[in-house]
Structure 1
């Protein structure tokens, strides 16, 4: 699968777009039409418009050069946060026009505004027919929590740490978020200590311009050159602090074990079982020695580090390259996989002896670039694709003919809804170009972030129900 962000110089200043949503309209008097990439075409004079009512929060920003990969950091601001404004800490790796210009962006996004809406519009028994409820909500719902009714851009603070070569993938350690690993297009994996940058960001409230911040020079804790080629697969263990896996385009997977607070031992003998590039890696959420990998050879492999360097099981997952996988941390028997042919599947690891695939979706038209289960809802996952769509799915949903007919009757004069949408499809976010990676925020239920050629979007769909308790709402 092609991973690079081409012509970044032409795209680096496009991160100001506020777009998203899935609607378009050219003539105000006509019903809004849901836009389907790959199906619908824009006529002359038509343009896509974001439907702000579809989001509790939606913002766009960029940190200079496009980023192929990023990670959201665990912070100390509260385990479960549902109110606004919000603050998010992240790391990202750039794909700059020239190799010496690359860096790891360590950033804080604060004063993220948003609003809260009911999952279903409220109805009042004393109303005549209840139709007005589809058009209006209370003024308190439309206003920002802790701010004005008009959405304000978040405050971006950025530190740039010089990085040798473009960053193919970057991941932070769950147990110690200031420690991160980066996969460089030079073929080296590096581990960094970013505590100084995170501490400085935590103490500062100044708005730092992305173009004016200094490029800091810092040596990595370790630089591993044992891989024979560059790679993209990288994952920290959620159960064993400091344990890391890295996989390359030559089908080799290396295991890293921490030997002290600042050094690692890399096993010189790699895990080999795939016949082509290892595209992604995921540790088991429940077994400290078990992990999964996916490959251009169309398979997912399950490994047990205690049983040698060959896979314990191999799943024929797709009919094309398997680009990404996600192991469900709330339902550990489930792994999701996304393919180069635009399909994604759900596999039940309890059925490895037979057909492990329990669900398969062909909605997207181009390669799947990222897939991730929600950290708060075991049946919900998000998917991004090269067709410029980020979709959210609830696999517990089934088609209800009566309920669907009632819903369509209510909105038929307002929105032209496609007939063939899968019942599990909850939300479609659009507007970004060349989508590469997405992540849910582990401490802010319903919030996602995505990176693309034209920058980042941070969003919270209004139809993702938030039933968890709040510490600051």
Structure 2
């Protein structure tokens, strides 16, 4: 077991669709990394001595303001976004000058930490623990599983990682930004409210191939004093799906001296039904024993079920219909036999595992580009969010999607909401676990954005946003994260998120 604190090195770049990161120096990446400095996304890019106060130059305000508007209109790039001169800085749009970096605004975060692993991880999943729900005290602790994307021919460099993040302290505020009153109301003390060095502990299981996606399933114990059984499913570059029982690896974090045997590192099941690699993977939230969906780049999907004896059986009859790769797959949170799939053919399809035809019940065209990711709301189960290669993400009302007598029929409904803010591919989207209006989105423009779909502007507010029309009013927060690939809300720490890319970013904003 390794135990370390953050240092300043970055990992390699984890890429999608079979692309692998370049070689990186593993000697410098065995410790957790400090967060790189970057500017506040909404901070003006000019110094205080360049700001002209109203009226101080002797001209009428109307004349001066007209000149400023004309200058702002000229200061845009080819996309119409600010070109880096005076004006509103928009992460992912405004260009940084050579040598410029972005630094986070500490006052915007309740918690912010960065941790790195020896190799970058394209995918991870957060685990529930026995420390309680709705936790608000600091320092915080989290458990996760992740699969590495090692660019190496050495056996054992690729790993399934079982991770414990601890000593996650609250963001230390400047003297002028003290939130002592809020801390007192929350029952916190001084020792909880100072920033601390995060600690990353890991247990690793060797893998023969890189991991494209990993998802975990926890089976509650009949004894409330015992932890759940934790299973992981890993979609690998080798086209195999590996199921591991990582329960002993998690227990080892809190039981010093625990020795993991070679047998405990081996998969309890290997699914070989797929002939090509894939990225689509999901455990059913309504099948307690364990039911797994997997989809590959050939457009084929399979169901694997855990038996009463603890074994696994895969139904070798595939679900087919997509004309491109299956990029995302998710079970319905309310109907045990229903699932949805998203594909590079631009469609989302709804399926029923009881169907003898193995064909989709509903096919909907949601994009003209690859649909990379999808998230089914667990609070309002008729809402589905999707994100595509063109940077557009949207929300769909499933009540407007109707089964068709002709299985090949393709519907083209109108989304409840659609946003074209990101200018690179959407790599992750996830609904807030308890608020059906909040969504987290990650994109190839190195940002994680938080959105509140309940926000609407009245006329007065619309006038006050003049000059930042490119920023939707529903956008709550922008977090910079290099090469971000996946983002998840923590299920037991309200408002806390974890993202993976070149490294892990753990943060909680004051706005959510």
CA distance in 2 between counterparts of 1:315 and 1:301 reads 6
Contact 2:327/2:344 (<8 A) preserved = yes
CA distance in 2 between counterparts of 1:49 and 1:361 reads 26
Where in structure 2 are the equivalents of 1:20-419 lying within 5 Å?
22-23=41-42, 29=48, 35-99=89-153, 100=155, 101-114=157-170, 136-139=177-180, 147=191, 150-175=194-219, 176=228, 178-204=230-256, 218-241=265-288, 242-308=290-356, 309-353=358-402, 355-403=413-461, 418-419=468-469
Change (3 A) 1:217 1:46: same
CA distance in 2 between counterparts of 1:5 and 1:151 reads 35
Change (3 A) 1:177 1:377: farther
From 6, 18, 22, the equivalent of 1:7 is 22
**Greater CA drift, 301-310 or 321-330:** 301-310
CA distance in 2 between counterparts of 1:253 and 1:362 reads 30
**Greater CA drift, 354-363 or 139-148:** 139-148
Number of the residue aligned with 1:433 = 482
Q: Name which one, 1 or 2, has greater alpha-carbon Rg.
A: 2
Give the TM-score normalised by the residue count of structure 1.
0.84
From 493, 502, 509, the equivalent of 1:444 is 493
Contact 2:92/2:447 (<8 A) preserved = no
Question: Deviation of residue 457 (structure 1)?
Answer: 0.1
Change (3 A) 1:29 1:74: same
Question: Deviation of residue 3 (structure 1)?
Answer: 5.4
Q: What 5-or-longer segments of structure 1 have no aligned partner?
A: 118-134, 207-212, 410-416, 465-473
CA distance in 1 between counterparts of 2:169 and 2:456 reads 33
Q: What 5-or-longer segments of structure 2 have no aligned partner?
A: 1-15, 52-85, 220-227, 403-410
Number of the residue aligned with 1:18 = 35
Question: Deviation of residue 314 (structure 1)?
Answer: 0.6
SS at match of 1:202: coil
Number of the residue aligned with 1:209 = none
CA distance in 1 between counterparts of 2:151 and 2:130 reads 35
CA distance in 2 between counterparts of 1:66 and 1:24 reads 30
CA distance in 1 between counterparts of 2:143 and 2:250 reads 8
Contact 2:18/2:237 (<8 A) preserved = no
Change (3 A) 1:80 1:63: same
Number of the residue aligned with 1:468 = none
Question: Deviation of residue 249 (structure 1)?
Answer: 0.4
Structure 1, residues 17-44: CA drift from partner, whole Å, max 9, x if none? 4147525576653689753244312234
Change (3 A) 1:227 1:53: same
SS at match of 2:374: strand
Question: Deviation of residue 222 (structure 1)?
Answer: 0.6
Bigger RCO of structures 1 and 2 (CA < 8 A, at least 6 apart): 1
Question: Deviation of residue 240 (structure 1)?
Answer: 0.5
Structure 1, residues 263-298: CA drift from partner, whole Å, max 9, x if none? 110001110011110001010000000000000100
